[in-house]
Structure formats: C-alpha cells, structure tokens
Amino acid sequence: MPIQSAVPPIKVAASDWQSPGKALRGLLEGKGIGTRITLIRYVTEVIGEGPKLHVHPYDEVFTITEGQARFTVGDKTIDAKAGDVVLGPANVPHGYQNLGPGRLDSLDIHLSPEWIQFDLADAWDQSSILISAESKV
C-alpha cells in the first residue's frame, strides 16, 4: 500500500505566485505549501538576457516551455528548446540566456522547500551570448 502524504491537495492561483510583466514571472516556495520543491518561472523577450551565473546547494531542473536558451552548467554549454529539460546539479555554477528569436519562457524546479541562491558574477554581456562559465567567474 502506498504511503499517504501528510500534505492535503491544494491549488495555488496564478495570481498568488506569478507577476505578469516581470522577467522573474513567478516564485512559489514549497515551504509555503508543505512540499520540498520551489518553482520559479522566468520569461524574457530580450535576446541575450537571462539569470546570471549562480549556484544553489541543491539540484535545479529547468524546463523550457517556449523559445530557446543557452545554458552554462559548470564547464558545459547546452542549447535547449521548448520541451527540453536541463539539469543543474547542486553547487555547480549555472545560468542561461534567451537565444531567440522571440520569447523565452522557463519553469525552473528547485529541489528545496525554499529558494537559496548565491550569485557568482555579473556574467551576462548583452552584446554576446555567454560561452563559458569558467571565463566569467
């Protein structure tokens, strides 16, 4: 028999965790709903824009729901498009940028009940796409 959850089913309305018109479109920390994951929705129309190089003390799973992104995860460069999933392991520097054309929309799953982030560098140069995290730290 499956183990019963201690958390009852709930619904969180979009208006309770999302902010239309902002790049950091939404933040839903799991601790507020009794779960061990945190969701972040990031949206931008600007090519070359995205979350700067940073680390978390837990794994992060990126899901691209629209557009294309270039990720830097450690010493790897990974291009991803709508429908793709990218893993950012705990304590490995990572970030991503909108490759365009058009809008990038991602839903990022943090395997933690709260958002903990350590920014490493002002790595994004709007005139070019980030090639390597190593050169920016």
Mean pLDDT of 118-132: 56
- What digits encode the pLDDT tens for the residues 45-66? 999 999 989 999 999 999 999 9
The residue ranges of every structural domain in the chain are 28-119
**Rg (the chain; Cα; Å):** 16
CATH H-level, domain 28-119: superfamily: Jelly Rolls (2.60.120.10)
Q: Sort 14 into a burial class: Cβ within 10 Å, 0-12 / 13-18 / 19+.
A: exposed
Output the pTM of the full model.
0.84
- What digits encode the pLDDT tens for the residues 66-108? 999 999 999 999 999 999 999 999 999 999 999 999 999 999 9
Res. 122 pLDDT band, cuts 50 70 90:
low
